[in-house]
Amino acid sequence: MKPFLREKKTFSAAEIPEATAFEAGYLVTVNSGWRSIRPVIDTGRCIGCEQCYLYCPDGVIAIQNGKAVIDYDFCKGCGICAKICKIGAIGTEAEHK
Amino acid sequence: MANPTAERLSRDEYFYGHKACAGCGGSLAVRAALKVLGQNAVSVLPAGCMSAVGFNFPQLCFSNNSIISTFAGTASMLTGIETGLRAKGYSDFTAVGFAGDGGTADIGIQALSGAIDRNDNIIYICYDNEAYMNTGIQKSGLTPFGARTTTTPAGANIHGNLRPKKNMFEIAAAHDIPYAATASVGYLPDFIKKVEKASRIKGTKYIHVIAPCPTGWGIAPDETVEIAKEVVDCGLWYLAEYENGEFTLNHKPKDFTSVEAYLKKQGRFKHLDLDDIKTVIESRDKKWAFIEKNFTYQ
Ligand SMILES: Cc1ncc(C[n+]2csc(CCOP(=O)(O)OP(=O)(O)O)c2C)c(N)n1
Ligand code: SF4
Ligand code: SF4
Ligand code: SF4
Ligand SMILES: [Mg+2]
């Protein structure tokens, strides 16, 4: 499991919990708008060593079929993955969104 | 390709979608530790960046049970959670706290000392970004000598912080705690091993992990992991454990890399002159003489 984006974003007073947040894992906003650079995986070169997965502070890299895949909704473009990938399979480009 | 560290961790993410700055070292420490401890971890986060970025109503970026404590009360709340869950008949859980350097070495030290004294069965992790970051970079007891913060500005006469870093690791060890360790997010597999080990030990566990803050340190967001590695490689931080009354050094750099190079990469140390750097090197050498004498290296 991981926290995920919810459809429901507005609430009546009665639905609001008496706590500092909603239930564990309740996300209503993405972080993609923070990015000034976008990391891009060169799937041909990626050897699935999982170093980028391990060191991503946001946990947005998953390994699927032996290759790294980025969840761009939540990647902030810090660039740590591009530096940690020893074989240079992660490039960076300017974010245009 | 197999990655032995990644393979031991939960594939789930327990700290996701949080609002930490890009490249935040503290968020990497929290994420990695929770991937070790898993769904049944109950985390306590005092006032500080990790609570500020994790709980943004109505968002909760933790997918395990998590709660904000008072700034001073991380360890007290851990004690209460551990005791309360045990009293209700639960046994398969880990009470874990993630407190900053200010929350640990300054305002939270009394509660932490009390918990260690009672030997409560908790894991206390201090993510050390070397200042009060969430309130805009004020000096804490763990800010190193020479660092510029908003309360230790650098001018012509005074070059940033005048005082050395408090030795929290040995302060925890001095309680004869069952387990204490130092770590760095630049050596993530070592940190992960220490969290795994702590989760198997009964009683109080204290882990002190260096977690660079790009915003407060004046580094680029992609430099967090490198700088967290370099602080160990240049000898200004060390990877060690305390267990059964003994100190163990886990990693011994063959030759230290340049202290000056480490300092000059960071905005907070840019103003330091050669005399200041000499002072830093001398205190490093004194520390390592102590380590050589009192720690075993396996
Ligand atoms: C009793 C009390 N005093 C002051 C504050 C304000 N405050 C909130 S976070 C914070 C800084 C925390 O610094 P640290 O523990 O190092 O964590 P960081 O923000 O660096 O992650 C301060 C001073 C507070 N919340 N409660
Ligand atoms: S670090 Fe590079 S090679 Fe390894 S999984 Fe990530 S992208 Fe692939
Ligand atoms: S740029 Fe940063 S947040 Fe985005 S995938 Fe890489 S390490 Fe993760
Ligand atoms: S200010 Fe520093 S510690 Fe706080 S969220 Fe940003 S990078 Fe992390
Ligand atoms: Mg701090």
Q: What is the CATH number of domain B4-297?
A: 3.40.50.970
pLDDT tens readout for residues B248-267: 999 999 999 999 999 999 99
Among candidates A47, A57, A59 on the partner chain, residue whose Cβ is nearest the Cβ of B1: A47
Contact: A2, B220; criterion CB under 8 Å: no
Contacts with B56 from chain A: Cβ below 8 Å = 21
Shortest-distance Cα residue to atom 1 of ligand 2? A85
* pLDDT, tens digit, 9 for 90 and up, residues B98-111: 999 999 999 999 99
Ligand nearest to the CA of B54: 4
Contact B23 A78 (CB under 8 A): yes
What integer pLDDT is reported at residue A97 of this predicted model? 64
- The 3-class SS string of chain B reads CCCHHHHHCCCCCCECCCCCCCCCHHHHHHHHHHHHHCCCEEEEEECCHHHHHHEECCEECECCCEEEECCCCHHHHHHHHHHHHHHCCCCCCEEEEEEEHHHHHHCCHHHHHHHHHHCCCCEEEEEECCCECCCCCECCCCCCCCCCCCCCCECCCCECCCCCCCCHHHHHHCCCCCEEEEEEHHHHHHHHHHHHHHHHCCCCEEEEEECCCHHHHCCCHHHHHHHHHHHHHCCCCCCEEEECCEEEECCCCCCCCCHHHHHHCCHHHCCCCHHHHHHHHHHHHHHHHHHHHHEEEC
Residue B1: predicted pLDDT: 74
pTM of the model: 0.98
> Whole-angstrom Cα distance, residue B96 to residue B196?
12
Tokens of B59: 């968002």
Q: Where are the domains of chain B?
A: 4-297
Q: Is A27 helix (H, G, I), strand (E, B) or coil?
A: strand
Q: Give the ipTM.
A: 0.96
Average pLDDT for runs of 10 along chain B of length 298: 93 98 98 98 98 94 96 98 98 98 98 98 99 98 98 97 98 98 98 98 99 98 98 98 98 97 98 98 98 95
What ligand has the least distance to the C-alpha of A42? 2
Write down the architecture of domain A4-94 according to CATH.
2-Layer Sandwich (3.30)
Cα(B138) to centroid(ligand 1), Å: 10
Give the residue whose CA is nearest to atom 4 of ligand 1: B71
Split chain A (97 residues) into runs of 10 and give each run's mean pLDDT: 90 89 93 97 98 98 97 98 98 90
**From A48, A50, A57, residue closest to B23, measured CB to CB:** A57
Rounded Cα distance between B38 and A1, Å, is 10
Using CB atoms, pick whichever of B21, B63, B223 lies closest to residue A3.
B63
